[in-house]
């Protein structure tokens, strides 16, 4: 089954052609990050406009690179939430018109289900059940994945996402947006115990996480040092932040895997590219005799192929959407 998939939930416009949920024929992506970097974060109105400018050209590119004609496409898939509502609406409207024009079924895909499915593209042997750690710019959650389309959230951030925490701290350190990768690079030369940073304790659900206290602590630390004219150990601070974020995520991932009886752990989302988190996951999974799947870096961030992968499995167990399909800024997994 050949699926033409669209992703436009944030600041990447992406169109891909995927066969049977596992084989990527093309994956065209246009990032707007440079544009948003001028403002230190994503400007939703600009994101929507840039998606409109890019989506038709990327569709031609994806079909051309896949070497398939429009008539060969079996279904059209699109991210319909969660994300920036204006940005999502561009993808949803475009996908609806393509599906209508081609007379093909329309498959709505949850963005985070897509991030998890990125792993199916990289690892042909991977099948549910497993425990997924989904960490991106807008979400941080632990997902009990029982089947390709049967899953539930068992722990989530109560406030900021891990990626948001990296991005905001990067901004006070004067690093470019998005700050996760520059923070990761800066941390390479630093000592992770240079600064004592807070770890959260969430009462009533010990699998839930919190990042806002850490973010505020680091922002205050930097501002205080600046006011007093004190030098900051920037690599040390970046390494200490990565350690604090990893401490928030990795032990909870191990506990969730144990509690829900999983022998396999899967990482997903842009923050899954972080070298400290990857290292800690590898060590902890080894200690706990868990099999770990870490997506290759190119499949961590937003892309259309992951949407095409998940869409295949959605198509096997749900009827196609009709032309009333809407986009949703928040959406249950």
Q: What is the DSSP string of 231-247?
A: PP-HHHHHHHHHHHHHH
Q: Which residue lies nearer to ligand KG4 by CB, 10 or 256?
A: 10
- Yes or no: say if 3 and 73 are a contact pair by the CB < 8 Å rule: yes
* Distance of closest approach, residue 33 Cβ to ligand KG4, in angstroms: 9
* Distance of closest approach, residue 238 Cβ to ligand KG4, in angstroms: 10
- Yes or no: say if 50 and 10 are a contact pair by the CB < 8 Å rule: no
* Conformation bin of residue 289: beta by default, left when phi > 0, alpha when psi is -120 to 50: left
Query: Count residues contacting ligand KG4 (CB under 6 A)?
Result: 19
Q: Which residue lies nearer to ligand KG4 by CB, 21 or 138?
A: 138
Q: Does 247 bind ligand KG4 (CB under 6 A)?
A: no
Neighbours of 285 (CB within 10 A): 21
C-alpha to C-alpha distance for 62 and 51, rounded to whole angstroms: 15
HSE-up (13 A, CA, CB side) for residue 108: 22
Query: Looking only at residues 147 through 166 of this chain, which bind ligand KG4 when binding is defined by CB under 6 A?
Result: 163, 166
According to CB under 6 A, which one of 91, 138, 190, 308 is a site residue for ligand KG4? 138
The SS3 of residue 64 is helix
Q: Does 302 bind ligand KG4 (CB under 6 A)?
A: yes
Q: Which residue lies nearer to ligand KG4 by CB, 167 or 247?
A: 167
* Distance of closest approach, residue 40 Cβ to ligand KG4, in angstroms: 12
Query: Which stretch, 120-128, 179-187, 200-208, 220-228, contacts ligand KG4 (CB under 6 A)?
Result: 179-187
Query: Looking only at residues 256 through 275 of this chain, which bind ligand KG4 when binding is defined by CB under 6 A?
Result: 269-271, 273-274
Q: Does 80 bind ligand KG4 (CB under 6 A)?
A: no
Helix ranges (DSSP H) in the chain: 33-37, 44-66, 85-102, 111-122, 162-172, 180-187, 212-228, 234-259, 275-287, 305-317
C-alpha to C-alpha distance for 90 and 9, rounded to whole angstroms: 9
Q: Does 32 bind ligand KG4 (CB under 6 A)?
A: no
Query: Looking only at residues 84 through 123 of this chain, which bind ligand KG4 when binding is defined by CB under 6 A?
Result: none
Q: Does 301 bind ligand KG4 (CB under 6 A)?
A: yes
Interface with ligand KG4 (CB under 6 A): 10, 136-138, 163, 166-167, 178-181, 184, 269-271, 273-274, 301-302
């Amino acid at each position: 089954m050949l699926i033409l998939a669209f992703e436009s939930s944030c600041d990447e416009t992406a169109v891909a052609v995927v066969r049977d949920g596992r084989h990527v024929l093309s994956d065209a992506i246009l990032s707007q990050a440079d544009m948003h970097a001028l403002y230190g974060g994503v400007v939703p109105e600009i994101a929507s406009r840039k998606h409109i400018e890019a989506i038709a050209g990327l569709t031609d590119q994806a079909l051309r690179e896949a070497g398939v004609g429009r008539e060969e496409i079996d279904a059209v898939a699109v991210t319909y939430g969660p994300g920036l509502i204006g940005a999502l609406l561009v993808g949803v409207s475009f996908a609806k018109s393509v599906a209508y024009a081609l007379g093909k079924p329309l498959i709505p895909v949850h963005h985070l289900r897509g991030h998890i499915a990125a792993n199916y593209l990289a690892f042909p042997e991977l099948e549910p059940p497993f425990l997924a750690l989904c960490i991106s710019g807008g979400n941080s959650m632990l997902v009990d994945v029982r089947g390709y389309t049967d899953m539930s959230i068992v722990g989530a951030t109560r406030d900021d996402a891990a990626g948001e925490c990296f991005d905001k701290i990067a901004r006070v350190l004067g690093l470019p947006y998005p700050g996760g990768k520059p923070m990761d690079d800066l941390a390479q030369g630093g000592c992770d115990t240079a600064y004592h940073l807070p770890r959260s304790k969430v009462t009533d659900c010990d699998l839930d996480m919190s990042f806002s206290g850490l973010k505020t602590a680091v922002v205050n630390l930097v501002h205080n040092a600046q006011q007093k004219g004190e030098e900051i150990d920037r690599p040390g601070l970046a390494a200490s932040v990565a350690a604090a974020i990893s401490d928030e995520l990795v032990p909870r991932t191990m506990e969730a895997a144990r509690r829900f009886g999983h022998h396999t752990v899967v990482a997903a989302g842009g923050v899954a590219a972080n070298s400290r988190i990857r290292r800690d996951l590898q060590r902890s999974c080894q200690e706990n005799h868990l099999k770990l799947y870490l997506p290759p870096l190119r499949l961590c961030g937003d892309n259309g192929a992951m949407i095409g992968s998940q869409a295949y499995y959605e198509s096997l167990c749900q009827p196609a959407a009709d032309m009333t399909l809407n986009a949703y800024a928040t959406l249950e997994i």
